[in-house]
Structure 1
Amino acid sequence: MPVTYRAGVDIGGTFTDIVLLGSDGTVHTKKISSSVGNYAQAIVDGLGEVFAEAGLGGTAIEEIRHGTTVASNAILEHKGARVGLITTKGFRDVLEIRTLRMPKLYDLGWTKPPPLVERYLRKVVDERIDHRGHVDRALDPADAERAVDALLGEKVEAIAVCLLNSFANPAHEATLKRIIQRKAPHLPHSLSFEVLPEIKEYERTSTTVINAYVMPIVATYLRALRKGLDAAGIPARLLLMQSNGGLTTDTAAAERPMNIIESGPAGGVVGAQALARAKDLGKIITFDMGGTTAKASMVEDGEVARAQEYAVGAGIMIGSRLLTGAGYTLKVPAIDLAEVGAGGGSHVWIDAGGALQAGPESAGAAPGPVCYGLGGTVPTITDANVLLGYINPAHLVGGALKLDAEKARRVFADKIAGPLGMTVERAAYGAHLIVASNMIRAIKAVSTERGRDPREFSLFAFGGNGPLFAAGMAAELGIDRVVVPPSAGLFSSFGLLYADVEHHYARTFRRLLRQSDAGEIDAAWQEMARQASGQLAAEGFTRATARLRRSAALHYKGQSYELTVAVPDGPIDAAMLGHLEEAFGEEHERTYGHRAGPEEPVELVAIQLVGAGLRDDGGALQRAAPSRTAAVAPSARKAWFGDKHGWLDTPVLGRADLSASRPGPLIIEEYDATCVVPPGATAECDETGNVVISIMSS
């Protein structure tokens, strides 16, 4: 039987990473510079290079799994579609009023980000539906036509519709949909009753608008990618990673691009979850550092931490923080990530007060760090790490990318070390420590700010730069174990291969649990289950490979925010409602440190369901053996470990040389990443090929 392959493709700000997994467990990897002007072209070119190296043809690929930042970049750079919004009279300015939350309590100069729809493109219709779904004021079809015509006259590229309480009765939004389809049948449109049939006006409006804002961008990108793949003779089906860690088809992603906004970082967390389960690691903090950003997340008892909403472009990106209000809100399930602008390409600079800074601006793939020799003139963290001896100038990406260390030294001396009056190595080490402290903020955001002690976790490090910083950061946090997986620099792509297809459904269903009709709630969940099962069946997932998971969003009556709890299988009856009330009380105490007494009623706010199509790789992931495991000839070079140790002769090894425990300092070089083991730590390879670094307590 011929070997077939699945491909995982992750586009970063600096590199595009490709992993091919064969049905026999063979793994082929490739790391190439991202083509910023045309990300789709980098994928096609990269796959072509892998095929040439491995002697494969495009028809050998049966499936491509892709994580992309195209949608999030469109929002961050304000390069999305020209969107028009139709809403209920009196609610025209919801996008600007937002929720009155402030991310900086005492900064009087802070201003809200500009709304994605300018005010003159926000039109109103005189209609009103109450929270129970009763029509108080019917929608006049002529009024609806007027609003649509006004937006079409402004040459909008997409239309969003979000009417008051449409989650309870979508009739008026459905009327507007028919008018839009009749007048502009090819115009992308996003309606809140289809996108997010849940309460909370700002969150629902913002999510509906964001979906419309990125629709044309994502659709154009996916068409270009499909066209490029077909032209290259690669007819494989295309799956996109969602922000929640599940996969979706390219067709579904084009219709609901809001679900792939944070597609990029999710793959690595899903892969870390799978390996943590295999290694029986109950608690891990994932740390992914690439060329532009660093991301942290948390896995407890085999489950990824998820947020029910998050903000795009909010700096440190965390769900459900007390200080919210920055960025653009999306009320969709997502892996709970903290993200900072810290990567190998982060600029190193001196601020107006004479203090050394690192990031968030990045050199990206073009021109890249100074040492790349592609025209970069601003020193970066990668330049600093080359000067410290951590990165081998002749070995980056397996030697395919030669680095000019001398050019990096001259620029660092002129722009950083000289003005600060210090040696180049001390200035470079200072930049290294500053960017590490920025990333420690992200780790604390998903641990200590969640009431978790990071010392109880292992740090799971990947990305091109994650293993280089992880041991030093772990020592600072009091974490005593760092795990670096095989193919660490390509791990976000590798993680895509562990993901399942997922579809998420939610519906506002407000009921006091103690006064609820269990049969009514059960019928509502069953209706969502039929919808999910139908979607999965249409995508080829049978009863044996389809799984449904229920959850519920609840709060104490009068609270503004909800907590989500899992709902076990079985009929919804009085016993199940009692179980939900107790589960909510336990989750409330776990999250906030207290729970109300039994006299406080619990309200069901929304019912939720995930339909998952389970992957069947025939055990290929368990047999996976990376192709780029060529032995590194043992050598040594000098590396700087701060004033305490200075320059040390540091052994340089390959992963295969760690069959027994070795004391630091060590540098472990691989095709896709460099791992630094500082003095006072030890490293060895476990039975599954992970590098495990043990940190001695100081």
Structure 2
Amino acid sequence: MARIGVDVGGTNTDLVLECSKGVFYHKVPTTLKNQSIGVVDGVRGICERAGIEAAEVELIVHGTTTATNITIEHNGSECGMLTTEGFRDILHIGRHKRPYNFSLHFDVPWQSQPLVKRRNRISIPERILPPAGLIETPLDEDAVRRACTLFRKRGINSIVIGFMFSFLNDAHEQRAKEIVLEEMPEAYVTISSELANVMREYERFSTAAMNCYVGPKTAYYLRDLDAKLREAGVTSKLRIMQSNGGVSTVDACARRPVRILMSGPAGGVIGGASEGDMAGVPNIITVDIGGTSADISTIPGGAVKIMNPRDTYVSGHPVLTPMIDLVTIGAGGGSVAFIDEAGAFNVGPRSAGSEPGPACYGRGGVEPTVTDAQIVLGRLDPDMALGGDLGLDAQLAREAVEEKIAKPLGMSVKDAALGIIRIINNNMALAIRSNSVARGLDPREFSIMPFGGAGPLHGVALAEAVSARDVIVPVAPGITAAVGLLKTDLQYEHTKAGLVELNKATDQEIERINTVVTTLRTRVQAELDADDIPRADQQLMVIAECRYQGQGFELRADMPEGKVTQDNKRQITDSFHEAHKRDYGYAYPEAEVELITVRVIGSASVRRIEIPKIAQADGTSIDRALMFVRPTTFDDGQTLETPRYDRTKLFAGDKVPGPAILIQHNSTTLVPPGYVAETLDYGNTRIRTLGA
């Protein structure tokens, strides 16, 4: 029984395999033109490394950035939209929010990069009225057919359907979908009530539009990957990591790709939380630094946080789908250093990626990157990258830093390289503060957990910048996100509007809540049934999303066990008051509480990957792990003769004083002077100041 986790990043594709022979790690370059090629090559390679046949693999869990990249690169499908007459410009108007209140020069993403161009938004005569969802104006079916004729003429095959108040009555959206598929059988169709069956028409329409924008390409990639794996002899189940930290099937994610917009970073957060548990550290700030970006998440008390729906924006567009609370910035090993037109020294967000990659890769890249700076400073050994599998050219790195940064700014190559590192570290420190201090959390009570291929080189500097307690380096930093994929459960979610004032709810309204819960439970169970999960193994959680009367957005509250009654409805309001006090510092226990949305989350536990403990220190010297000594430049400008240690040869309890560098196949850990690195029970490492 073998299982593989595959995380595709902008530069490398990371894999972990668990089988009867143990746990194996592997890393291959990402094939940007078609990511599935790199995934298949990686799966074959890690099976060879483990000495097993591809057919022995039972499960593959995949974290993908395909949908995310489409939104970043603005190369999604040309979409058409059917919407209620008079509401054609909802996607343009939005919420009248200014992204930067005091700036005269700002971009409005939903207008400058619309998901559906105005000429392709067709208004349809129809109208459903609140509060009961009664039909005032029947759907004009001929208008829908005429719109389909126009879409065919324009070569549009991805259709969004969003009508006003469809969350109260979806009859018109469902009928319009039937007509579109009659007229355009191959069309990719999304209706807003199936995807985000909640109030707020702008956010609902935007979510449906985003699904159609990324849908065709994402669906093609997922199904193509599934086919390529089978051609390679891998007949296992393929599961996809979702933005909420659960996994789902290829078919479900192909139909609703908005659920996987944060698929890649989510695996890292799950893996980081698990590593924190292994180290006995509940409060951690994960910093996943790959080749292209840095993903940062704060995990208080070991609990992964889910974003409030008001904050779930992707590329400037609201998307009503549950996402792990994280911040992503353009800061990675491939981030390009440059001097802008005003003469300022910048690093990122543009990345050299894997093709051509940093200058040191020798693939034609000539711009200096963070990786090139690390080589110039002696923190990365060109002959040791990926255990020697990736040969790097130190001279090319030095030339790039010198020609593009040092000479134009009149500084030494060493100072230019240090400048690159300091700028990127400051950028990440600002992002860490935005996800901790700005949320009322004190970084001094947290440990920094750096991972990704570049993470452990920056860990101590980031901890110093935000005054974190210490640094915890995972067992396999470069593969942590892939490991997280094998530590998550199967999960589905469905929502429906409730719209009930709880304090004065009538018996009829209480029964309406129970009917909504029953409907959602049935839908979730049907998806789990389709995935061959026995009913006994299905776990269902019902959540009420509530607000004080007149508030703009909701918070999650617990629902009672069983049916809601007049006697137990106070459990919902009490839970909401507690959540409000926890998030905002105050509550109004006597105020009216509105239930806005009911959410049902269905999950099924899967076997988690088990990382074995390593041998305990036996009193022998850490020299058993010593590889060689080379000069290395640290943040204070000192260049010191620095020993390199093979991290895999250190035992639990071993302490390595800085300056030192810990080398392993998938990552490199920097231990500056004045710090000590202690190996923990599972092979993870705690770095703290001497004497702490």
**TM-score, normalising length from structure 1?**
0.93
Task: Report matched runs for 1:140-151 at 5 Å.
Answer: 140-151=140-151
Please name the residue that 1:584 is paired with. 576
CA-to-aligned-CA distance 1:311-370 (integer Å, 9 cap, x gap): xxxxxxxx36xxx89612111000011010000000011123322210011100011001
Is 1:691 the counterpart of 2:685? The answer is yes
Which residue identity lines up with residue 519 of structure 2 in the other structure? Answer: E
The Cα offsets for residues 369-401 of structure 1, whole Å up to 9 and x where unpaired, read as 011111110000000001111111111111101
Indicate the larger mover: 241-250 or 76-85. Answer: 76-85
For residue 275 of structure 1, report the CA deviation from its aligned partner. 3.0
- CA distance in 2: counterparts of 1:657 and 1:67, whole angstroms: 31
Corresponding position of 1:601: 592
In structure 2, the CA distance between the partners of 1:622 and 1:575, relative to structure 1 (3 Å rule), is: farther
**Contact 2:278 2:682 survives alignment (8 Å):** no
1:88 aligns to what? 84
Mapped partners of 2:323, 2:568: distance in 1: 27
2:302 corresponds to 1:302: yes
Alignment of 1:235-314 (within 5 A): 235-309=235-309
Name the residue aligned to 1:315. Answer: none
Pick the aligned partner of 2:95 from 93, 99, 110: 99
3-state DSSP class of the match of 2:75? coil
Residue 622 (structure 1) shift:
4.5
Q: Distance in 1 between matches of 2:568 and 2:241?
A: 33
Deviation at 1:141, TM superposition (A): 2.1
Which is further off, 254-263 or 533-542?
Answer: 533-542
Question: Relative to 1, partners in 2 of residues 1:415 and 1:325: Cα closer, same or farther, differing over 3 Å?
Answer: closer
Which 10-residue stretch deviates more, 138-147 or 478-487? 138-147
Asked if structure 2 preserves the Cα contact closer than 8 Å seen for 1:299 and 1:305, the reply is: yes
SS in 2 for 1:334: coil
Cα deviation code 1:135-189 (max 9, x no counterpart): 1222122223222332233221210100000000011111101101211122110
1:389 is aligned, of 374, 378, 389, to 378
In structure 2, distance between residues paired with 1:166 and 1:30: 48
Give 2:120's aligned residue. Answer: 121
The 5 A counterparts of 1:22-41 are 22=19, 24=20, 26-41=22-37
- In structure 2, distance between residues paired with 1:139 and 1:625: 67
Judging changes above 3 Å, is the alpha-carbon distance between structure 1 residues 246 and 341 closer, same or farther for their aligned structure 2 residues?
A: same
Say if 2:54 and 2:234, in contact at 8 Å, map to a contact too: yes
* CA distance in 2 between partners of 1:682 and 1:645 (Å): 19
What SS does the aligned partner of 2:379 have? Answer: coil
Code of the aligned partner of 1:638: P
Q: 1:669 is matched with which residue?
A: 663
**Aligned-partner Cα distance in 1 for 2:377–2:223:** 44
Q: Report the CA distance shift for 1:249/1:625 in structure 2 as closer, same or farther (over 3 A).
A: farther
The one of 2, 5, 9 aligned to 1:5: 2
Amino acid at match of 1:527: T
Q: CA deviation at 1:529?
A: 1.5
Candidates 3, 27, 52, aligned match of 1:56: 52
CA distance in 2, matches of 1:632, 1:410: 33
Deviation string, structure 1 residues 407-444 (Cα, Å, up to 9, x no partner): 21122112211222221111111110100111112211
The answer for the alignment partner of 1:572 in structure 2 is: 564
* Number of equivalences: 675
Quote the offset at 1:34 in angstroms: 0.8
SS at match of 1:634: strand
Identity of aligned residues (%): 37
After superposition, give the CA deviation of every residue in 1:29-64 in whole Å (9 maximum; x if it has no partner).
211111111110111112222233333211111111
> SS at 1:393's partner residue?
coil
SS of match in other structure, 2:468: coil
Whether 1:646 and 2:642 are equivalent positions in the alignment is no
Structure 1 residue identity aligned to 2:628: S
Distance between the aligned counterparts of 1:473 and 1:675, measured in 2?
A: 13
C-alpha spacing 1:448/1:509, structure 2 compared with 1 (3 Å): same
Distance in structure 2 (CA, Å) of the matches to 1:25 and 1:100: 58
Following the alignment from structure 2 to structure 1, what is the Cα–Cα distance between the partners of residues 562 and 278?
A: 29
Matches of 1:275 and 1:407, distance apart in 2: 36
> What corresponds to 1:337 in structure 2?
326
Hey, what's the Cα distance between the residues in 2 that align with 1:32 and 1:568? 48
Residues 553 and 604 in structure 1, CA contact (< 8 A), matched pair in contact too: yes
CA-CA distance at 1:469 after TM superposition: 0.3
Contact persistence 1:99–1:325 (CA under 8 A) = no
Q: Does 1:402 align with 2:387?
A: no
Assess if the C-alpha contact under 8 Å between 1:100 and 1:325 holds in 2: no
* Further displaced range: 120-129 or 347-356: 347-356
CA deviation map 1:215-261 (0-9, x unaligned): 21012112221221121111111100001110000011111111011
CA RMSD of aligned residues (A): 2.0
Per the alignment, do residues 461 and 477 of structure 1 end up closer, same or farther by CA in structure 2, a change over 3 Å counting? same
Retained in 1: the 8 A contact 2:463–2:470? yes
Structure 2 residue runs of 5 or longer lacking an equivalent are 616-623
- Indicate if the aligned counterparts of 1:101 and 1:325 stay in contact, CA closer than 8 A: no
For 1:200 and 1:625, locate their aligned partners in 2 and report how far apart those are by CA, in whole Å.
53
Partner of 1:543: 535
Partner in structure 1 of residue 136 of structure 2: 136
Return 5+ residue gaps in structure 1 as ranges: 311-318
1:430-472 residue CA offsets vs partner (Å, 9 max, x unmatched): 1101001111122112111111111111112210011110111
Alpha-carbon contact 1:66-1:240 (below 8 Å) kept: yes
What does residue 630 of structure 2 align with?
637
What is aligned with 2:15?
A: 18
CA-CA distance at 1:657 after TM superposition: 2.7
Q: Give the C-alpha shift of residue 697 in structure 1.
A: 9.8
Question: 1:86-117 CA distances to partner (integer Å, 9 max, x unpaired)?
Answer: 00011111111111222211221213122111
- Give the superposition deviation at 1:304: 0.8
Cα deviation, 1:244-295, whole Å, max 9, x if unaligned, reads: 1100000111111110111111111111222333444222111100000001
